[in-house]
């Protein structure tokens, strides 16, 4: 079980640094953790030769993992990951993020933790009950104190954003935020609904939505983005798993751990998910239209049933090639292509502009 947690944890670090961990690299980490030699791995690694593994794949993996752990502040600049020490280095880091250490406990004399939901780079997310509100369900997000040198700053940034934003009907309401010996905690309302990644897989083909459904999805998502941008905040991680569709069809945006204040500085900040992340965001310079780009990618995925990483792009322009994979009107396709333009200067510059065109299309 710990091996699976290691892979999940390492993958979350790669994603945070706008990189990916492919299936072969996961297997190399897995088998290295178990103490297998490269010779023993060759039969399980998709036909790669021993020489190719030892000369190309493995060295690149250990270099990337070393760099990402250093950037995350989890190892020193002198430390380096190799096949021989991967377990020694990663085991204490991952054990600090064990997902079940709080299940069954009551924290802050009010919130009873019932179930582990997810593990992130800086802590865990749990389902709980608010004993002060007649056992109402809530989501409890823990930031482990030792998970990152700047963890308090990350906690304060997210709690402040939710405090200012969560009165919007499409953002989970912030219930409480506090700290104790286990870490820093955010508690927000549990949203009844289904995350879009249960319909739109972020890794494999899924069901196809019709144009009317996708237009409604775009309008609902953009409505909450307009509100967030008006508060000078960029979400930076719009993707199916961060969008919950309620029973009434309304979209709720979750996961504000990746937000960035719009400050017009040149300080590079790297965060996002491959496939949904705009080019300028991948270069460390996100802007409001980066969220518009990601929203379009979700819409295109709903129309085609294919994750963005499985669609081809025009070699000359870099624009996504997707229209032949969908049943869609030319006007709506033009809107999505403008939203997802690779050049942010040619993209819609505000959510308001997109909504005007979409609402005209839906009439």
Most confident stretch, 73-77, 91-95, 285-289, 344-348: 344-348
pLDDT at 183: 85
Q: What is the per-residue pLDDT across 8-41, written as a single tens digit (0 to 9) for each?
A: 778 878 876 767 787 788 888 888 888 888 888 8
Say yes or no: 181 and 237 in one domain: no
Kindly give, in sequence order, each residue whose CB lies less than 8 Å from that of residue 311, ignoring residues fewer than 6 positions away: 300, 304, 320, 321, 322, 325
pLDDT at 305: 94
Q: Which of 189, 221, 242 is the last residue of a domain?
A: 189
Say yes or no: 338 and 256 in one domain: yes
Q: What is the per-residue pLDDT across 74-105, written as a single tens digit (0 to 9) for each?
A: 888 888 999 989 888 888 877 765 655 788 99
Average pLDDT, the chain: 87
CATH code of the domain covering residue 329? 1.10.510.10
Mean pLDDT of 200-218: 88
Q: What is the per-residue pLDDT across 249-277, written as a single tens digit (0 to 9) for each?
A: 899 999 888 888 877 665 666 677 778 98
151 vs 325, more confident: 325
Say yes or no: 169 and 227 in one domain: no
- The number of folded domains in the chain is 3
pLDDT reading at 322 higher than 60:
yes
Rounded Cα gap, residues 198 and 242, in angstroms: 11
Say yes or no: 357 and 238 in one domain: yes
pLDDT reading at 4 higher than 90:
no
316-325 CB contacts, 8 Å cutoff, 24+ apart: 317/342, 318/279, 318/342
Q: Which of 189, 211, 230 is the last residue of a domain?
A: 189
Say yes or no: 181 and 232 in one domain: no
pLDDT at 185: 95
Helix (H, G, I), strand (E, B) or coil at 121: coil
pLDDT at 337: 97
Most confident stretch, 121-125, 182-186, 224-228, 262-266: 224-228
Of the candidates 237, 334, 343, 357, the residue annotated as catalytic is 237
Say yes or no: 204 and 293 in one domain: yes
pLDDT at 136: 93
CATH code of the domain covering residue 169? 3.30.200.20
In a domain, residue 121? The reply is yes
DSSP string, 42-110: GGGTTT--HHHIIIIIHHHHHHHHHHHHHHTTSS-TT----TTTHHHHHHHHHHTT-TTSSTT-EETTT
130 catalytic? Reply is no
Say yes or no: 253 and 345 in one domain: yes
Dump strand ranges (E) for 301-344: 312-313, 320-321
Range of the domain at 281: 194-362
Say yes or no: 204 and 344 in one domain: yes
* Total-model pTM: 0.75
Q: What is the per-residue pLDDT across 152-179, written as a single tens digit (0 to 9) for each?
A: 888 888 899 889 998 899 999 999 999 9
pLDDT at 233: 93
Percent of the chain whose pLDDT exceeds 90: 45
340 vs 89, more confident: 340
pLDDT reading at 1 higher than 60:
no
Mean pLDDT of 283-308: 94
Rounded Cα gap, residues 108 and 39, in angstroms: 52
pLDDT at 253: 96
pLDDT at 34: 84
pLDDT at 46: 61
pLDDT at 270: 62
Mean pLDDT of 268-291: 83
202 vs 143, more confident: 143
pLDDT at 39: 85
Q: Which of 28, 61, 95 is the last residue of a domain?
A: 95
Rounded to 5°, angle at Cα 285 from 345 and 159 = 120
In a domain, residue 101? The reply is no
Percent of the chain whose pLDDT exceeds 70: 91
pLDDT at 147: 62
pLDDT at 117: 84
Kindly give, in sequence order, each residue whose CB lies less than 8 Å from that of residue 170, ignoring residues fewer than 6 positions away: 220, 223, 224, 227, 250, 251, 252, 253
Give 69's pLDDT tier (boundaries 50, 70, 90). Answer: confident
């Amino acid at each position: 079980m710990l091996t699976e947690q290691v892979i999940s944890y390492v993958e979350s670090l790669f994603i945070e640094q706008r990189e990916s961990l492919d299936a072969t690299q996961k297997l190399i980490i897995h088998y290295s953790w178990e103490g297998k030699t490269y010779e023993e791995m060759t039969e399980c690694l998709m036909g790669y030769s021993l020489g190719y593994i030892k000369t190309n794949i493995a060295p690149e993996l250990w270099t990337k993992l070393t760099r990402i752990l250093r950037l995350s502040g989890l190892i020193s600049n002198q430390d380096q990951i190799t096949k021989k020490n991967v377990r020694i280095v990663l085991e204490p880091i991952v054990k600090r993020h064990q997902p079940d250490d709080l299940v069954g406990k009551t924290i802050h004399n009010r919130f009873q933790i019932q179930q582990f939901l997810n593990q992130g780079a800086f802590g865990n997310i749990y389902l709980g009950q608010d004993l002060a509100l007649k056992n109402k369900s809530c989501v409890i997000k823990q930031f482990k104190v030792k998970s990152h040198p700047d963890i308090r700053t990350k906690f304060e940034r997210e709690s402040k954003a939710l405090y200012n934003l969560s009165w919007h009907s499409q953002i989970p309401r912030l219930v409480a935020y506090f700290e104790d010996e286990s870490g820093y905690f955010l508690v927000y309302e549990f949203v009844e609904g289904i995350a879009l990644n249960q319909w739109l897989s972020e890794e494999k083909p899924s069901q196809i939505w019709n144009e009317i459904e996708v237009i409604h999805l775009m309008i609902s998502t953009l409505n909450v983005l307009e509100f967030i941008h008006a508060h000078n905040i960029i979400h930076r991680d719009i993707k199916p798993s961060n969008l919950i569709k309620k029973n009434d069809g309304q979209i709720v945006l979750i996961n504000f751990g990746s937000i960035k204040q719009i400050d017009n500085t040149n300080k590079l900040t790297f965060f996002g998910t491959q496939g949904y992340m705009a080019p300028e965001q991948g270069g460390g310079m996100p802007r409001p239209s980066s969220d518009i780009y990601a929203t379009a990618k979700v819409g295109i995925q709903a129309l085609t049933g294919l994750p963005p990483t499985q669609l081809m792009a025009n070699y000359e322009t870099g624009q996504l090639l997707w229209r032949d994979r969908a049943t869609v009107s030319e006007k709506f396709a033009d809107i999505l292509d403008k939203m997802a333009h690779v050049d942010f200067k040619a993209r819609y510059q505000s959510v308001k502009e997109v909504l005007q065109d979409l609402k005209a299309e839906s009439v």
